[in-house]
Amino acid sequence: MNRLLVDGGVRYAVQDLNPRGKKTIVFVHGWPMSKEIFECQYDVLPEYDIRCVSIDIRGFGDSDKPWRGYNYNQLADDLCKCMQECNLQDVTLCGFSIGGAICIRYMARHRGARVSRLALMGAAAPSFVQRPGFPCGMTLEQVEDLITQIYNDRPRSVFNFCKQCFATTPSPEYLQWLQGLCTQAGGWSTIKCAEALRDEDLRSDLSKVRVPTCILHGVQDRICPFPLAEAMHQGIRDSFVVPFEKSGHCLFYEERNKCNSTLIDFISSR
């Protein structure tokens, strides 16, 4: 694992698995998790000569946890700096949940630099909450309640959130492992990113995505409902949707074989 210094003196934790792979995928995790969430992908993709680079966003996992910098612009700028420092080129950028939102803002704000393909996995986009003219997503009251729960009892709120991420029932051991990843985050960063999910709106960013885009989304997702995938597809010109019929939010685990084969085919396509 490398520790990269980005703007403002914040150090990011970056894992580079199979650095000699012919193709490269860059993973950006979801709220309030870490880069370890893609374990089922790390176990398989390198066998197909794919380099797997994964990043803990600020405030989460093994990265620094500063007080500020949790808006999408800053998180996209941090991602850009990490890509530059790692000298990545011609990558498939893959974002899960809030990671998908960060990747969309990166594509719009940095004109898709170094990215040839985009994979959006259960992405919290184009808006995590319902807005005038946009009835998809959670209600404002639901997100406000979640933030209040985090202030009052973060471990319990995280545990309840993790349980909602699945259409099936994971093993108690997996659920405990997932909860442990989530509680590595700073309490303040968990709250501030939840506020970003509440406040940020990416609808105007979608048309600025100019690369082939694969939208992987669980049909039974209770965190980022499936209509969000359809809205992203409508807004991103060169995109297609792969529904995961048996999955909730964590499709990379519940239908890991389908997820892996979809990513492998997409990364390898011309």
- The catalytic residue positions are 97, 221, 249
The CA angle 117-122-124, to the nearest 5 degrees, is: 95
Residue whose entry in the numeric block shows the structure tokens 């885009």: 213
The closest alpha carbon to 127, from 118, 140, 111, belongs to: 140
Q: Say if CB 166 and CB 249 are below 8 A apart.
A: yes
Name the amino acid, one letter, at 63. S
Alpha-helical (H) ranges within the chain are 39-42, 72-85, 98-109, 140-163, 172-182, 187-199, 227-235, 251-254, 256-268
How many Cα atoms occupy the beta-carbon half-sphere of 151 within 13 Å? 9
Max distance between CA atoms of the chain, in angstroms, equals: 50
The CA angle 238-243-248, to the nearest 5 degrees, is: 130
Residue whose entry in the numeric block shows the structure tokens 């939102």: 101
CA distance 87 to 165: 34
Q: How many CB atoms are located within 10 Å of the residue 149 CB? A: 16
The percent helix, strand, coil of the chain (3-state, each to 5) is: 45, 20, 35
